[in-house]
Each structure stands twice: as C-alpha cells, then as structure tokens.
Structure 1
Amino acid sequence: MSGAPLETSPEPVPSSATRDAVTEVLRRVFGYDSFRGEQEDIITHVADGGDALVLMPTGGGKSLCYQIPALVRPGVGVVVSPLIALMQDQVDALRNLGVRAGFLNSTQDSNSRREVETAFLDGELDLLYLAPERLRLDSTVHLLDRGKVALFAIDEAHCVSQWGHDFRPDYLGLSELHERWPDVPRIALTATATKATHTEIAQRLNLGGAKHFVASFDRPNIQYRIVPKASPTKQLLDLIRTEHAGETGIVYCLSRATVEKTAQFLCDNGIAAVPYHAGLDARTRTTNQSRFLREDGLIVVATIAFGMGIDKPDVRFVAHLDLPKSVEGYYQETGRAGRDGQPSTAWLAYGLTDVISQRKLIENSEGDTAHRRKLNLHLDAMLALCETVECRRVQLLNYFGQTGEACGNCDTCITPPESWDGTVAAQKLLSTVYRLDKERNQHFGAGQVVDILLGKQTEKVTQHRHDQLSVYGKGTELKEGAWRGVVRQLLAQGLLDVGGEYGTLSLTGGSDEVLFKGRKVMMRREPEKVARASYSRPSKAPAVEMSPEAAPVFEALRAWRGASAKEQGVPAYVIFHDATLRQIAAIRPRQLSDLEGITGIGETKLERYGQQILDTLADLP
C-alpha cells in the first residue's frame, strides 16, 4: 500500500554494483538476508548519491536507509537527530554491530568531544550523530568542512514542520546543508506526516528535487481500541492485569501531576512503573529511561516528552489516559508499540472532559488566530477518529492520505458500535444552551446543562431558578452518561463550542442548522457501562509460537542476554532481539557455523557472542 513518489526528478537506475554492495553490508553487518518493503530502493538511491524524503512507519526499518549508504559510500554519514538523551544508546547499538559510531552533543565534556572530532577527521568513524543545534556552531561547520561527509541524514524530519505536531525551531536551519555541501546526498526521514506536513518538509529542507518514498502507514500488528472514560486508572489496571501482565508498556498522560499519580497507583497495585516528565530532575529522567530500556516488564508513565526515537522492540502496549492533541501525535506515540512486529495494543480512554480540556488549552494557547485554527483542525481530526463508527485503522490511513479495507482487528470491527438519530436530543441540549444565553445571559458548563434537562433540584439549579426554564426536565429519556455523550459528540461535530476559564458551553454557526433548519444529527450510542476488557491478541500478526522443548532454551538465552547486557551497560535488544533468540532456541546450534544465516547475527555479533551462545546451550539438559 505504498504511495506514489511526489515530484520526483529523473535519476539514473542504481548500478548492479551498488545493489550488490548494499546487500552485502545488510548480510555481513546487520545479519539480514533480505530487505523489507522499499528499503532496497531507498538505500541504493542514496548510496548512488541521490536525495530522498522517506515516510515510513515506526518499526519499518528507517535507520537502515541511512546507515547502509553511509557504510557503502566513502566518508562519514552525518545523522542529525533531536534525540540527545538516546544518542549514547544509538551509538552503543551500532558499535555492537561493529560499526564505528560517535556523537557530538551538549552532554559531553570537552575531552569527549575532542576525541570524537579527531576520529572524524582521521576517517575512523562510519557514522556521526549530531544534535541540530550543533550545526548552528561555526566550529561544527568547519569540522565537517575539514572531513569527508558521505551523506546527511535528517531523522525525525517532521520536526521542521510548523504544521506538524512536534515542531523544533533548530530544524529550520537544516535547509542550508544543501547550499554549503551541494554534492553530499541528503535523506530526510519521518514516521508520521500528513500531505501538508510532507509538503512542508520538502519545502523547508530544500528537497523539492529529491525522490519521495511513501510506505504504507498500516501497522497490522497493533490493535487500536478507544474506550469511554469511566475510572481511567482502574480501567488501565484492568487492561494490564487481564491482557499484559508482566509486559512492557508506555502510558501517556497530559499533565505531570497525572503522570505521578498514575505511576504511584500502578506501583501500589503491584505493577512495576516509573514516571517520566520534564519536571523531574535530569538524573531521575535519565535513570527511569535507562531502566525502561534495560528492564523487562517495566511500565513508564509519561507525558509526550517521552518516547521519540525509543528503539525498544518489545513494548506490548501503549495506553493514553488523556486525549492526544492530534492524529499525528497519536499515531507516533502508539507506533512505539510492537516494533518487533508482534501483537500489541494501542488503548485510549476518552471522555467529555478530554474534549473540554483540549478546547480550553487551544483557546488559551500562545499564537495568533491562524495558529489556534490549526490546533483546532488537528483536534477535530482526533475527535473524528474517536467518534467514528467505522474501522479505526481505515480512518487512520485515510488521515495520512492512504486507503485500506476494514481490518477486522480494531474495537469498531470486533464490536461494531451502534449509531442512532440524535437530532431531537441535540435540539434539546442546544435549546438549553440557547435559552441560558438569550433569556438569562448566562453561560454554564456541561454538568449544569445536563442537570437542567434531567430536572434535577440541585443547589445551583435552584439558586439560578433554572427549574423555571421551559426545557427543565425535558430530557429524562436519557441517562446522565448518555447526555454527556451527546455533549461530547456535539463538540466533536462542531455543533457546540466550549470556552472560558470554566469550560462553559456556547452555540456555533452549525447549531442554528440543527435548531432551525432541520439538520439531522447522527450519533454513536453510548454503552450502558464500560465493559471489562475481553480482547484477544491481534489476529493479523499472531504471536510466534515455540515448541515446548524450545521454550526453556529461549528463556535461558534471554537470561544470558540480560546478564551480558547488564555487564556492558546496554539495553538487552542491542545484543539480540527476541526473534533472533527464538530462532536459536528452535535449531539449538552445536557449532559456530550453525549460527550463520540466523536473522540478526552479522559477522561482528557472531564473533563477539557466538561462543557464549554455544556455551549457554551446552549447559542445558
């Protein structure tokens, strides 16, 4: 399901020698026999000196698209990345493969920087990672001028887009790379971009003449589920206990306070969890991120500041306790689950308070009217995904300009929601807001409006004489939860607005169409109560099964890998992914040659770990 390249320029067909070279590096260094999707075309294009803009989902193998050309071309591949906190892990992973890698960023002392700079100038590096702000320094520019640059890779390229969800001002200066080094190929990569973001990346990075590669954004191993928010922390605990006990996960919350509270709640209930947000001191953040990367079964509860560039392959679930601000942000965050291709869950608890909170944040945000309009468009698309009665996966793909068929694996496919004609309910609720405004010049939040419709005799209803309104008690056919659902869906459809410090409701231009012009309003029916989780593993990507004989061998290999990783101070997946250990467990090799050809075992890893694996297996019964 790959899209057609946009505005591509004619370029020579890559030579057979280039294809042979990149395939040899793939096998020898990375231990893979074949490329995935469009990897080979991208890699050969860049290796032959072409510019490329690559849109590929998380877990699709983007890093190989610049790492292999850097190893094939003369000189050093320079990778521009915003992920300062993860550069050490990225470099460790490459060094474990036998690749000579280094980085330059603000975390280093002068001696460490000097060592890396010397290695670069002496031709002793294959890849050099730079934070974007380093390229603003004359010293960095002069360093690159004195060495030989094989290519420039701009990772997380969506950060250059002010339309996107993760804008970084430092990225705007990267358009100058082509002006200063016109003969050095550039490859920009991102895991998430709408057509608007895609266009802006090309314009801002001066990649109009580059070849564009757009892979499918479908992640069939991820099961997307959005549930009505009731008691979100208890719902989360139920999800973990019933479906992901002992597994690694990420939980996203909107505020630092909610992060802290949720992490503590999980710990109090016997679930290993740590918090992560910008308000923690640097040492605590680093420690918690390091634990997440290195420990099995740990859950990190975080704001969206966490996760970009995380290469941990075995994250089995990503949960959102608050509504993401955009579909792009949601897609990128959920994409951190299941990078190994195994079944994983993307779970979101969503309710009326989320819509009100997000609208208030936008109203109070910095920036001009155009900026707030942009934020509202992002939110509208996210609300449409939450409220859809169609396949969520199809809705996601449509957002990114791609098509797909109903997946049979998201919540709306497995348990199709009912829709109902909510026109009369909408008219009653909008009439209540209208009468409060026009007859009393008053504005209230959703709770008061619903209390009026239900005919409740609360202190606030009596105090403001709202029991004398003609709409008082006219909504008893629906329960309170259903009315709150009506409010939420009217907000999502732009038929109601929310604003002010207290989230008061007001009418929109669309409201008149419902009240006075006969506009029909279809709604998603609210469930009577939130059901317990009863989902099985995603069906399109079945979990890898092992024979009873192989299972204990696999666990012994995991134990060896964990000890080795701890000794080296690196995440376990840097040594081998689970998929590699499963293959080893299945064939139980007796000599080093038996390990050749196993996915993920290149020459360096065979030399470094081969005998250790054989020794581990020899100790088993």
Structure 2
Amino acid sequence: MGVLLLSESNLQSILAKVFGYTTFRVGQQQVIEAVQAGRDALVLMPTGGGKSLCYQLPAIQGAGLTVVISPLISLMQDQVEALQAMGVAAAALHNGMSSEQTQSIMQQLNSNEIRLLYVSPERVLLPYFVQNLQNWQVDLIAIDEAHCISQWGHDFRPEYGQLGQLREALPQVPFMALTATADAATEKDIGVRLHLHDPVVYKGSFDRPNIRYVVEEKYKPQKQLRDYIARQRGASGIVYCGSRKRVEELAERLRKDGLRAAGYHAGMEHSEREFVLRGFVRDDIDVVVATVAFGMGINKPNVRFVIHFDVPRSIEAYYQETGRAGRDGLPAEAVLLYDPADAAWIRSIMNDHPDEERRRVEQQKFAAMQALGEAQTCRRLVLLNYFNEYREQSCGNCDICLDPPQQYDGTVDAQKVLSCVYRVSQRYGTNHIIDILRGSKSQKLTDVGHDKLSTYGIGADQSHEYWLGVIRQLIHRGLLVQNVAQYGVLHLTEAARPVLRGEIALQLAQPRINLVVTKPRVADRADYDKVLFRRLRALRKAIADHEEVPPFVVFNDTTLVEMAIQFPTDETSLLAITGVGQKKLERYGQEFLSAITAYLDADDEPLVTF
C-alpha cells in the first residue's frame, strides 16, 4: 500500500495549508485514519458535511493513486478545478474530453504524477481500464453517491450495481462508499454489492440546522413561486418540478419576470444541459427550474433556496434535493408546495407498477413523504426520525416551530363541507364544493341547479383558500376521500357520520395562507459589512470569469463573509480566515488584501449595516 500514515499534527497541517481549515468536521478524522490503516469504509454524511475531504486529504500525501467514481461529468470537472486551485495533482477522465487530453492524462497516470483521478462508473469497468488499475499503484477506490448502487435507494443506476466486479479485480485495495442518504436497507445493500470487508461505518447527523424547512399549501402555485423568488433578490435557487412541460413553462414565466432563470430536464440536448449547469455554478444563472435530472453532485455551495413545486416521491429524494441548499453553512430555505391531490395522483401511478415488491417499497416511502408534508409537528423531527435519528426537542427553524398551527373548534366548518358533499350526491370535486359554499355565480354551477342547495353561500365569509385548507384537513383526518379515478371526486367516509350529526366535536388547525416565513439570508445578516461583501463578491466573480472556473473555486461565501467581519489587511491575518490555504493565499491573496485595504482607506471606519 502507498498510503503514508500521518500523525494527527501532520493531518492538521495539511488541513490548514491546503484546505484552509483549522479543525476537522465531526467524523472526518475518524474516516481518514481508517483509510490510512487500509480499512474499507461506509460514510454517511449530509450534503455539505465534508465527505470529499475524507478521501482527498489522504490522497494528497499518499504515494499512489486515489480513484473517485462519480456519476456526472460536471461534478468531476468542478471537483478537479477546485483541487487544482489548491495545488493538488487531480484529473478527470470522461467522454467530453479530446483524445489528446485523454492521452496526456494517461501518460501522467503511467508516470504516477496524479494523486486523484475522477472517473465514471461506465469507464472504470471497461476491461482495459481495469487492467490499468491493476498496474497502477492504487491506494483507494472511493465511490461517491453510493446510494445509486442499491435497488432500494431512491436513484438506483444499473451501472453502479456492477461495481462489485471492481472489488474482485482489486482485492487488496480499500474501498470507501460515500452517500448523503441511505436508510437501513440501502446501507446494507451497499455493503453487500461492493463486497466491503468489515468496513468502518460512520453515520453523521442528518440534521442540517442552517436549512429552514417550510411547507406551504399549494393553491395558486405559479403566483406563490414567483412572489417567493422575487423576495430572494437575486439569490441562487433551484425549483424542482414533476414534468418537463412544467419545467419549460415555469422557466419561461420567470424569464419574462426579468429573472436570470433557465430550465433543465433530460429531454434537452446535452450541450444545452451543460450550458445551464455551468451558468448556474458560475453565478451567471440565478434560478434553475428542473426535473430530478438536475442536481446529483451539484458542487455549488451558495444555493440559498430549494423549492419543490411538486411533491417528491420519497423522503430520501426530498432530503437529497433540499440538501443542495446552504452547503456553505449559511442560512438557506427548503420550501415544499403541497397539495394532497398531487399525492393522490402519484399513489395512483405507483399502484400500476408491475413489480409487487418494488411497488410496496415505493408506496411505503411515499407514505412517509406524505406524513412530512401533512405534519402538524416540527418538520425536522419528522425528517430525522425517518432516518432513525430520534429527537424530542423541536428545531425552532421550520414553519411549524416558527408559526405553530392555531387549533379551533372546526365542527361547524366541517359540517358545512360534509353536508355540501352529501347534497351533491358525492359526485363533484373540491373546487365545485368550494364554489357552492362561497355562493359562486358561475354558469357551470347554476346549470346543474346547485345555486338552489341549502349549503349555497353558507361559507361566503371565507376565502377559497380557507375552504381548501379545511377540505384538505378533512381528507387528512379520514372524513373525506378523493377518488383519483374519477377526477378527484369527494366521497364521505363512515367517520364523517358522527361529525355531521353533531355527536362529536372536531378540532382543526386554522387554515394557513402564505406560510413561507422569509429567512435571514446571507444578505440579511447583521454581523458583517455588506458593502465590502458585495465588493469582494464582484472581485471573486471577475477572477473566476478570467480563470474560467466557478466562483466558489476562488473562495466561497463563508470565506467572504468572514473577511467582511475580520477585515484582514496582511497575509498572516488573511491566512487565518476559514477557507484560505497557502496556495490560495499565493494565487488570490494580494488582490483581496488590496480590495479590503482600499475599502478601509476610503472610509473612516467599516460600515456594518443592520
């Protein structure tokens, strides 16, 4: 083995000199030491939790090669650019490269000049490449997004499932599997399929305390989305949709609103998708509207919000997608627009799945996702409990904690709705029932004589959204069901009888409209100089554009915020800033020091806006 065993002080030295950090995050040092000892490892850390450092740091000082198997070309490129900016000998091999580029990298590999090589699962399994791996001095095989290996994972990929063959070809090389999401079944399957030998298993907390989780009733979704994004004032965000058509419609609508927005889905040409991804990573595009095809491995730390326009199919998918926000540790928000009708439609699709076992697993996972969307208790507790991380203390940073649902005696409201459903012979859907309650004068309603019903107009004092909230709660409580096969027609259940008869009282949550609580974004914090921060961001963007790299490769937002707090004016104080290592000090230090000094010289004292 070529891994050089390093003392704790040496590890700390590399961490500071190369990566610019003074301390390890929880779990990183434990995993690194296991790798140095030649152990297999299974690493479960949340997105932004520092998984990549677990194989990058030992690779830097190793005598051999660390091979990182990654699913996306864009992710490989971003990782390599970031490592090269820190002076690390890293490279990637993928189909987007010219034969000359590939040949050059192969020559460097044959000469043992590269420490970190990123490669796709398809390429790494090619017979000629496996033979090369057997000839090179390979210290470690690291498999990123390892949940793709498991059929129980939310993003199973067949080519990933074949990676166990690599273990047979390299029996003496330690393997490290890394993922941000894995339930117990997925975790077990990863170990079996990769033939991990007594691996060190590290499970970090699934909690991302800087992310605020918000669920909003979906009633005027396009307006809700546009109003929300308008309040973000140019911050980076992702909007997830369930269909390609909706992606294109929303992206076009946002562009007409004057936003730097773009769509992304699997039906686009590869060059189009690559253009959007690179534009987003380099801060040329603010908002990407996308299907789930967009996102795995996005290496962009400053995503401030993720919106789910449609409900995801599993908590794993929701967690992974929302985890793309706030990777820099600064405040971020995850917003889910939730409509039980969407959930009913997804369930109906799942019921048609031909594989009974797969259907059962998908239904179980989606039921947990529904429970999160319909929860009346702390969202974070529901999320963490799903991953067997049990807590009792509410988080204080979700919509439920910040604005607890107000309970009221909803018996009369429920009776109005249930009676109306009964009087139309249980043959109409939600919107029609609400129109009757509010006394609508629509032609459709008068044509069938429903303006003559005793329930006509008895709810005119409340809004459409109010009654929508009541009806959804009655569905959640099992008093009503929606017949998906009949366009969402509402039916009464046996549980509705005692409520209609006034035999029991019913407590409901006060219907909530506009649930989104605007979070303190990075631009709203009060502990740093915002004018200087904006100037440093502009400088960073200019440097990044000149070097044709994403801005975070220069410095991330966390580093710029710290500069705008500490005001470093010499190399020693700049090196003390988180994220400033020796190589970056040499490459970018003078320009940032000059900008800070010029700013301080122009003002009598730093301006901190509150």
Q: Secondary structure at the match of 1:500?
A: helix
The answer on 1:69 being equivalent to 2:58 is yes
Match in the other structure for 1:38? 27
Could you tell me how far apart the structure 1 residues matched to 2:521 and 2:589 are?
34
Q: State whether residues 46 and 206 of structure 2, in contact with CA within 8 Å, keep that contact through their aligned partners in structure 1.
A: yes
Match in the other structure for 2:261? 273
Q: How far has the Cα of 1:118 moved from its partner?
A: 2.0
Give 2:553's aligned amino acid. Answer: V
The answer on 1:22 being equivalent to 2:11 is yes
Q: State whether residues 389 and 418 of structure 1, in contact with CA within 8 Å, keep that contact through their aligned partners in structure 2.
A: no
Per-residue CA distance 1:162-192 (angstroms, 9 max, x = gap): 2221111111112233322222111111112
The answer on 1:286 being equivalent to 2:274 is yes
Match in the other structure for 2:48? 59
Give 2:520's aligned amino acid. Answer: R
Q: Which moved more, 1:588-597 or 1:99-108?
A: 588-597
Give 1:362's aligned amino acid. Answer: M
Could you tell me how far apart the structure 1 residues matched to 2:557 and 2:133 are?
38
Match in the other structure for 2:556? 577
Give 2:377's aligned amino acid. Answer: E
Aligned residues: 592
Give identity over the alignment, percent: 44
Alignment of 1:64-213 (within 5 A): 64-207=53-196, 209-213=198-202
Match in the other structure for 2:485? 500
Give 1:546's aligned amino acid. Answer: Y
- CA 1:272 to 1:146, structure 2 compared with 1: closer, same or farther past 3 Å? same
Match in the other structure for 1:326? 314
Match in the other structure for 1:5? none
- CA 1:181 to 1:20, structure 2 compared with 1: closer, same or farther past 3 Å? farther
Q: Which moved more, 1:594-603 or 1:127-136?
A: 594-603
Unaligned runs of 5+ in 1: 1-13
Give 2:383's aligned amino acid. Answer: L
Match in the other structure for 1:305? 293
Q: State whether residues 69 and 142 of structure 2, in contact with CA within 8 Å, keep that contact through their aligned partners in structure 1.
A: yes
Could you tell me how far apart the structure 1 residues matched to 2:84 and 2:48 are?
20
Match in the other structure for 1:6? none
- CA 1:67 to 1:544, structure 2 compared with 1: closer, same or farther past 3 Å? farther
Q: How far has the Cα of 1:616 moved from its partner?
A: 3.9
Q: How far has the Cα of 1:250 moved from its partner?
A: 1.1
Alignment of 1:585-600 (within 5 A): 585-600=564-579
The answer on 1:396 being equivalent to 2:383 is yes
Q: How far has the Cα of 1:607 moved from its partner?
A: 2.1
Q: State whether residues 430 and 515 of structure 1, in contact with CA within 8 Å, keep that contact through their aligned partners in structure 2.
A: no
- CA 1:430 to 1:496, structure 2 compared with 1: closer, same or farther past 3 Å? farther
Q: Secondary structure at the match of 1:188?
A: strand
Per-residue CA distance 1:68-106 (angstroms, 9 max, x = gap): 122233311111111223221221111111111111222
Q: How far has the Cα of 1:221 moved from its partner?
A: 1.0
Could you tell me how far apart the structure 2 residues matched to 1:452 and 1:175 are?
61
Unaligned runs of 5+ in 2: 602-610
Could you tell me how far apart the structure 2 residues matched to 1:62 and 1:522 are?
48
Match in the other structure for 2:605? none
The answer on 1:602 being equivalent to 2:589 is no
- CA 1:543 to 1:211, structure 2 compared with 1: closer, same or farther past 3 Å? farther
Per-residue CA distance 1:312-345 (angstroms, 9 max, x = gap): 1111111111111111111111111111111111
Alignment of 1:466-545 (within 5 A): 473=455, 481=465, 484-485=468-469, 488-489=472-473, 496=481, 498-500=483-485, 502-503=487-488, 525=509, 527=511, 530-531=513-514, 533-537=516-520, 543=525, 545=527
Q: How far has the Cα of 1:370 moved from its partner?
A: 2.4
TM value normalised by structure 1:
0.84
Q: State whether residues 310 and 336 of structure 1, in contact with CA within 8 Å, keep that contact through their aligned partners in structure 2.
A: yes
- CA 1:516 to 1:137, structure 2 compared with 1: closer, same or farther past 3 Å? farther
Q: Secondary structure at the match of 1:59?
A: coil
Q: How far has the Cα of 1:565 moved from its partner?
A: 0.6
The answer on 1:357 being equivalent to 2:357 is no
Could you tell me how far apart the structure 2 residues matched to 1:210 and 1:161 are?
17
Q: Which moved more, 1:596-605 or 1:75-84?
A: 596-605
Q: Secondary structure at the match of 2:48?
A: coil
Q: State whether residues 248 and 315 of structure 1, in contact with CA within 8 Å, keep that contact through their aligned partners in structure 2.
A: yes
Q: Secondary structure at the match of 1:187?
A: strand
Alpha-carbon RMSD across the aligned residues, in angstroms, is 3.7
- CA 1:417 to 1:150, structure 2 compared with 1: closer, same or farther past 3 Å? same
Could you tell me how far apart the structure 2 residues matched to 1:165 and 1:370 are?
15
Q: Secondary structure at the match of 1:301?
A: strand
TM value normalised by structure 2:
0.86
- CA 1:588 to 1:352, structure 2 compared with 1: closer, same or farther past 3 Å? closer
- CA 1:251 to 1:113, structure 2 compared with 1: closer, same or farther past 3 Å? same
